[in-house]
Structure 1
Amino acid sequence: MKKALVNKKARILCFTLLVLALTGAVAASQLGRYAGAVGDSSMQGRAHGSSTTTSRTPTTSTISTTAAGTGTYFDHVVIIVMEDHGMIDICARNPPPCSSTNGDPYTAGLANSYGIGSNYTGVSHFSQADYIALLGGDTYGCVGYPCTPSSHANLVDRLEAAGLTWRGYMENQALASGCDTNYNQPYTPEHNPFVFFTDITSSAARCSNVVLANPSGCAVTDCTLVSDLNSASAPSFMWLTPNNCDNMHGYTGGCSASIPFGDAYLSGLVPNILNSTTFRTQRAALFVVFDEGNGYCPFNNSSEDCVYAVWAGRGTKNSFVTTNPYNHYSFTRTVETNWNLASLSTNDAAATPMTEFFTYTPPSVSFTYTPANPGLLQTIQFNATVIGGTQPYSYAWDFGDGFTASGSTASHSYILPGTYTVAITVKDGVGQSATASKNVTVSITLP
C-alpha cells in the first residue's frame, strides 16, 4: 500500500515537472510543430480526464454592423412627410382598420396592408419645428417661421461620418439641385429641413444632394426619386418633401387642403417606390408620416396630436398595428439604431426606436462545451446556437490561446493549464454579427 502511494506521488511529481517545463519553455515554433503532430490547427488531443471545476461566466452577446450601408433592419430608407392632418382625418376614430371616410382609400389601404402606429404624435403644432425634429432630433427653439438657422448636428452629419449616402428630394423648389431658401409656392423652405442647418447650407457639396424631385418632363411622379431607386446606387437615406398641393397642405390661390388630392398623389407615387429595383431586390423601407394633426388621439380621446405614421416595404410587418407611443424623435432614433449612429440630443436619445415594425430580428449566439471540466490534451467539443438573423451564417471561433476554427461546431484541446476566454462570432447573411464568450478552465490532470 505504501509502495503504491509512493509510485502515485512520483507519477504526479513527474507530470507536474513536465507541465512546468512546457509552461516555461515551449516556443511558438514548438507549438506549431505540436499542432502538426496532432493533425490540425485545432490542436486536438487525447482525453485525459479532469479534476477541477470549469469557471462558467454568463454568455455575453454583442451585435454590430459590418459594412457601410448595411443596417440592422434596412439598408435604404425613404421618408415622405405629408401635412396638417391627424389620425382622425385619415383613418377615422378606430384604427385598426384605418377607415377611409374623407376620400383617402389608398392612404388608408397602405396602413392596413403594412404597419401603422396608432399612437404616434407630432412634437409641435408648427410645421417647421416638426421637420427639424425629424432630421435634427430637436426643434432647437423653432417656434415660428422663419426659424433662426442652427449650427447643431443633424442626421446628415451622422450618416456621412458612418460612410452612408443621402439625398433630399424637394417638389417644386426653384433649383435643379441646391439649398433653396426662398419661399415660392407651392414650394416652401419651412418644409425643407436641410436648409435649417448651417453646416448643410454652407457646403456646396451637401447642397448638391438636395434636388428637385419633379422636374418638367417627368414620365412618373417624382421621377428623380424613382430613378434613383431604380439605379444601382440608391442613397442610404432619402427624404421627400411633396409640394403644398400634393402634401394635403394647400395654399391660397393655388390648391385647397385636399385629402383626396393627396391620396391620389400617394397612389401614383408609392407603388413606383415599392416596385422599384431597390425595394424589390434590397432591404428598403418606406416611412409615410404627417407632420402634425388636429389634437385628437382616437385611442385615448386626449388632446395629444396623433398623426398617421406607416412603415411599408418587404422587410416590414404586414397588417400590423401598435398602440405603443411614438413621436417624430422615434423616427430619428430608428435611423440611428439601424446604422448604429450617435444620438443628436436628449430627445432622440430617450426615444423608442420603431423596430417592432420590422420582421428582421438581429442574430444572437450562444454556445456550450463538453466536457465541463477539461484537462490537458483533452478534446473539448464546442457547439454554437444562433437565434435570429438571416441565413447563411458564418462562424469564427477564438480559443484564447492563439488558435481559431470555423463552423457551428469545433473541437480543441489545450497543452497548458489555465483559464481561457473562448469566443464565437457569427455573421448572418445581411452582414450583422453577434459575439458570445465564456471562460474555460483547463486543469492539470493525471494521465
Structure 2
Amino acid sequence: MLASIRHALAVATPLAALLATGCSRPREITHVFVIILENKGITTTFDSPSPAPYLAETLTREGAFLRQYHGIGHFSLGNYVAMISGIAPTRETQGDCGRYEDFVQRGTTPDGQPIGRGCIYPASIPTLPNQLTPRGLSWRAYMEDMGADPAREPASCGHPVVGQADLTEGATRTDQYATKHNPFVYFHAIIDSVASCQANVVALPALAADLRSARGTPNFVFVSPGLCHDGHDTPCTNGEPGGLVSADRFLQHWVPLIIQSPAYREGGLLIITFDEAEGSDASACCDEQPGPNVALAGITGPGGGRTGAVLLSPFIAPATVSDVAYNHYSMLRSIEDIFGLSHLGYAGQAGLDSFGDDVFGRR
C-alpha cells in the first residue's frame, strides 16, 4: 500500500504546480473520502503500543498525522452535525436525540447559527450536500448495517418517524446501525427530498461498486461504520471484540479499496478521524464558540477533546506530521475550499484554518 501511494506521488505533477494561487491545498483534489470512528482520545489510539496498529502506525507513515485535531463537543450527534453544516450543538444533539424531533427555530445569529431547540433542522438550514448538488458535484453517505433489520430502519435514508423514539440508540446482534452517526438525516433539506435521500444515503456495501470507476465515485464520500466497527462498543453484541481492535479491522478492509480506486488515484483525499475523545476530555481548539443554544459545547468543557486525524492523498508526502490546531469545523471548511464553496456556520469563523501547507507541503 505504501508503495502505491509513493508511486502516485512520483507520477503526479509537482506540488508547486498543483497549489492554487494564494491557497495551500491542491486544486486537483476531485474526491474527498471521510471515515468517522468513535469516542477515542489521541493517546488511546496513537500511543505505542496501539490497539489499532494499522491506523496508528501504517497509515500515519503513509500520510499526514494531525496531532492537534479536536472534536467540537460531547456527545456524538453534535459532532456529526457540525461536520456537514457548521452548526454548534443543541441540548438535544448533546444528548444524541433519543427522540427524533424537529428543531424549533426562534432566530439566527449573525454568524449563521440557528437559535432554538430540537434535532431535525428546518429545510432552510443548508448542508454540505446542498452546496455540492447545485455545483454539479455528487455526494453519497454510506452507512454500515443500515437496513439490516427493516423493523428498525430502512436500507436507504434510514431514520425514525419524526416525533418518535430512535430505536437505533443501541446495537442488536444483527444490526449495528445508529441514526445518531448519520448526520444527513437530521436536516429537512435532505430528508424532505425523499428520492434524493434514498439515492444518496445508502448502506455501506454500495461503496465497493461505486469505487470501481472514477465516474461512479461521488465527489464527496462519507463513511459511517456500525457501532461495532467504529470503536463505539466493547465488546460487540455480535461477539466481536469491538473497540479499536474491530475499528482497525474495518479500516484494513476499506482503506485499501479506497486508495486503490481510480477516483483516489486521480485526485483523492481520505480523512480518518473520530467524532470525539473520551468523555473526560472536553478540551477545544481554534477559538471554538459554543453557539447560542448551550453554555459549553463539551458539556463539562468547551469542546470534544483531542482525537487526532490521519489524512492520505497522492498530494501528501508520507510521514507528514502537523501540530496545527484543527477541528470538525476546520474539516468542513477544508472540504468547502477544495470544491470552491462558501463556508457554512462556524466553518466560516474568522481565523479558522483550513488544511494547509503543513498537510499539503512541498517535499
Q: Same fold (TM over 0.5)?
A: yes
- In the other structure, the counterpart of 1:150 is 121
Displacement of 1:134 after TM fit?
0.5
Q: Give the TM-score taking structure 2 as reference length.
A: 0.70
- In the other structure, the counterpart of 1:19 is none
- In the other structure, the counterpart of 1:331 is 331
Displacement of 1:179 after TM fit?
3.7
CA deviations on 1:327-380 (whole Å, 9 max, x unpaired) are: 00010000111122111114444321113355488xxxxxxxxxxxxxxxxxxx
- In the other structure, the counterpart of 2:74 is 125
What CA distance in whole angstroms lies between the structure 1 residues aligned with 2:191 and 2:94? 21
CA deviations on 1:278-321 (whole Å, 9 max, x unpaired) are: 222x10110001001125599x9x99711031110212232111
Q: Relative contact order, CA 8 A, sep 6+: which one is greater?
A: 2
How do 1:186-335 and structure 2 match up within 5 A? Answer: 186-207=176-197, 208-214=199-205, 224-233=206-215, 234-250=217-233, 253-254=237-238, 257-280=242-265, 282-294=266-278, 295=280, 305-335=305-335
What CA distance in whole angstroms lies between the structure 1 residues aligned with 2:311 and 2:36? 12
Structure 1 residue identity aligned to 2:45: I
Q: 1:156 to 1:106 in 2, by over 3 A?
A: same
Displacement of 1:125 after TM fit?
1.6
Please provide the CA RMSD for this pair. Answer: 2.8
What CA distance in whole angstroms lies between the structure 2 residues aligned with 1:277 and 1:118? 29
Q: 1:113 to 1:206 in 2, by over 3 A?
A: same
Kept in 1, the 8 Å contact 2:73–2:303? The answer is no
What CA distance in whole angstroms lies between the structure 1 residues aligned with 2:179 and 2:271? 21
SS at match of 2:87: coil
What CA distance in whole angstroms lies between the structure 2 residues aligned with 1:118 and 1:226? 30
What CA distance in whole angstroms lies between the structure 2 residues aligned with 1:292 and 1:346? 17
- In the other structure, the counterpart of 1:443 is none
How do 1:349-360 and structure 2 match up within 5 A? Answer: 349-350=349-350, 351-356=352-357, 358-359=359-360
Selected match of 1:137 from 86, 99, 104: 86
Q: Give the length in aligned residue pairs.
A: 277
- In the other structure, the counterpart of 1:78 is 33
- In the other structure, the counterpart of 2:135 is 162
What CA distance in whole angstroms lies between the structure 2 residues aligned with 1:73 and 1:276? 16
Kept in 2, the 8 Å contact 1:74–1:284? The answer is yes
Kept in 2, the 8 Å contact 1:290–1:309? The answer is yes
What CA distance in whole angstroms lies between the structure 2 residues aligned with 1:140 and 1:125? 8
Structure 1 residue identity aligned to 2:341: L
Q: Larger Cα Rg: Structure 1 or Structure 2?
A: 1
Displacement of 1:64 after TM fit?
10
Kept in 2, the 8 Å contact 1:173–1:180? The answer is no
Identity of aligned residues (%): 28
What CA distance in whole angstroms lies between the structure 2 residues aligned with 1:259 and 1:169? 20
Q: 1:304 to 1:278 in 2, by over 3 A?
A: closer
Structure 1 residue identity aligned to 2:52: D
SS at match of 2:357: helix
Selected match of 1:110 from 59, 66, 72: 59
Q: 1:303 to 1:238 in 2, by over 3 A?
A: closer
- In the other structure, the counterpart of 1:405 is none
Range with greater deviation from structure 2 (171-180 or 82-91): 171-180
Q: 1:357 to 1:235 in 2, by over 3 A?
A: farther
Q: 1:357 to 1:316 in 2, by over 3 A?
A: farther
What CA distance in whole angstroms lies between the structure 2 residues aligned with 1:359 and 1:121? 19
Structure 1 residue identity aligned to 2:269: A
Kept in 1, the 8 Å contact 2:80–2:181? The answer is yes
Structure 2 residue identity aligned to 1:72: R
- In the other structure, the counterpart of 1:180 is 159
Q: Give the TM-score taking structure 1 as reference length.
A: 0.57
What CA distance in whole angstroms lies between the structure 2 residues aligned with 1:314 and 1:153? 31
Structure 2 residue identity aligned to 1:130: N
Q: 1:133 to 1:73 in 2, by over 3 A?
A: farther
Displacement of 1:102 after TM fit?
3.6
Structure richer in strand, relative to its length = 1
CA deviations on 1:375-405 (whole Å, 9 max, x unpaired) are: xxxxxxxxxxxxxxxxxxxxxxxxxxxxxxx
CA deviations on 1:78-121 (whole Å, 9 max, x unpaired) are: 000000111011111xxxxxx3x242110112023210110111
Structure 2 unaligned segments of length 5 or more: list them: 1-19, 98-117, 148-153, 161-165, 286-301
Kept in 1, the 8 Å contact 2:72–2:304? The answer is no
CA deviations on 1:199-228 (whole Å, 9 max, x unpaired) are: 1010023212111113xxxxxxxxx21221
How do 1:9-24 and structure 2 match up within 5 A? Answer: none
- In the other structure, the counterpart of 2:294 is none
Displacement of 1:139 after TM fit?
2.7
